[in-house]
Amino acid sequence: MTDTMYHADFLERLEGGLRDALPRWGLSGASELKLLTISENATFRAHDPESGADVVFRVHRPGYHTRAEIASELAWLTALGRGDVVATLTPIPQLDGELIADLDDGGVTRHAVAFGLLRGREPAEGEDQPRWYRELGAISARLHAHAKSWPRPDGFTRKLWDYDAMLGEVLLWGDWRAALGLTPEGKEILERTAALLKQLTDAYGQDEGRFGLVHADMRVANLIVDGETLSVIDFDDCGFSWYLYDFAAAVSFAEHEPYIPELQKAWVEGYRTVTPLSDEECEILPVFIMLRRMLLTAWVASHSETPTAQAMGTAYTEGTVELARAFLARYAPDGGRTVP
């Protein structure tokens, strides 16, 4: 990504490439295209006045997911739909039956996929969040149960979201040390926090009952409410991680809010309506919240041109440091100074 990525000419070119490809899905040239969001990828909504069809398109950022990874995501989505596990998006094939289209962007190949439009809206701020997080906990438990029992197709491949991917050697979303506005004191605090997180996640382990295929991004922006139905969208970051990491992802960008314990309680209650979850197991949840916060701090720095990152700014980094102070005080009696 570059800081010029979202200039008007880039977006116009991206929209033009997608418009040219609409007939591959049977949409007419009269279709209206509207940019919905842009972050890792660009998401558009198309409305065809001739057929009345409404389709959501995701145009992938080159260099993030391979074609095989995208195909694997769509395979899981299709299986979830067939099993009626969770209300979610339905992939729409092109007229030739292929789910993934290749778009040429000035010599760069971009993958594009299409989904049926889900009616509804994001849960509103100030709405009864515990209610929806209770439902989200039940959804998460069903997703995890499906992931544990589903025979994945040959060639299935998704990213590994372990400590190394987030804060260690791999750094899929960049290095937290490049965080916006990070001071030397803040860096020293986060270094100790990262070392402690490594120790705690290693101790928790990755046995098959704790680690597997997860959504990994069930935050509010990826939830759709329609009446009494809560749908989960955007499986673009699904991959292999700790199952309970899904709660940490669900409170993304709000980790510092005082109501998080209430949402955690509701999520756990919902989870337990589907499958047992012990109090001892839940003790890891604050660890994953801190891990996710540091990962997102790296993401804000490496994706500083996105609207989300710009809205977070240096204040998010400052908040991360304050959360880390409290985390060290709770989990390391000496503030983490002797953590290896």
- Rounded to whole angstroms, how far apart are CA atoms 140 and 243? 9
Give the residue among 333, 250, 339, 239 at the shortest CA–CA distance from 289: 250
317 vs 2, higher pLDDT: 317
Residue 65 lies in a domain: yes
Residue 144 lies in a domain: yes
pLDDT tens-digit profile of 155-209? Answer: 999 999 999 999 999 999 999 999 999 999 999 999 999 999 999 999 999 999 9
Give the residue among 189, 168, 182 at the shortest CA–CA distance from 327: 189
Residue 338 lies in a domain: no
- Kindly state whether residues 138 and 233 are assigned to the same domain: yes
Quick check: helix, strand or coil at residue 104? strand
Could you say which of 116, 138, 168 is where a domain stops? 116
- Kindly state whether residues 90 and 186 are assigned to the same domain: no
Give the residue among 226, 41, 20, 24 at the shortest CA–CA distance from 33: 20
**pTM, to two decimals:** 0.93
- Kindly state whether residues 135 and 14 are assigned to the same domain: no
Residue 76 lies in a domain: yes
- The answer to whether residues 190 and 324 touch, using CB atoms and an 8 Å cutoff, is yes
- Kindly state whether residues 90 and 168 are assigned to the same domain: no
Name residue 307's amino acid.
P
* CATH for 142: 3.90.1200.10
| Predicted local confidence at residue 167, as pLDDT | 98
* CATH for 58: 3.30.200.20
Phi, psi at 87, each rounded to 5°: -70, 120
Segments forming the whole domain that contains residue 154: 129-331
pLDDT tens-digit profile of 231-279? Answer: 999 999 999 999 999 999 999 999 999 999 999 999 999 999 999 999 9
Residue 142 lies in a domain: yes
Give the residue among 48, 80, 61 at the shortest CA–CA distance from 213: 80
- Rounded to whole angstroms, how far apart are CA atoms 251 and 286? 11
- Kindly state whether residues 146 and 100 are assigned to the same domain: no
- Rounded to whole angstroms, how far apart are CA atoms 159 and 104? 25
Strands 42-47 and 32-38: antiparallel
Could you say which of 92, 116, 140 is where a domain stops? 116
- Kindly state whether residues 103 and 158 are assigned to the same domain: no
Could you say which of 70, 85, 116 is where a domain stops? 116
- Kindly state whether residues 162 and 103 are assigned to the same domain: no
Residue 123 lies in a domain: no
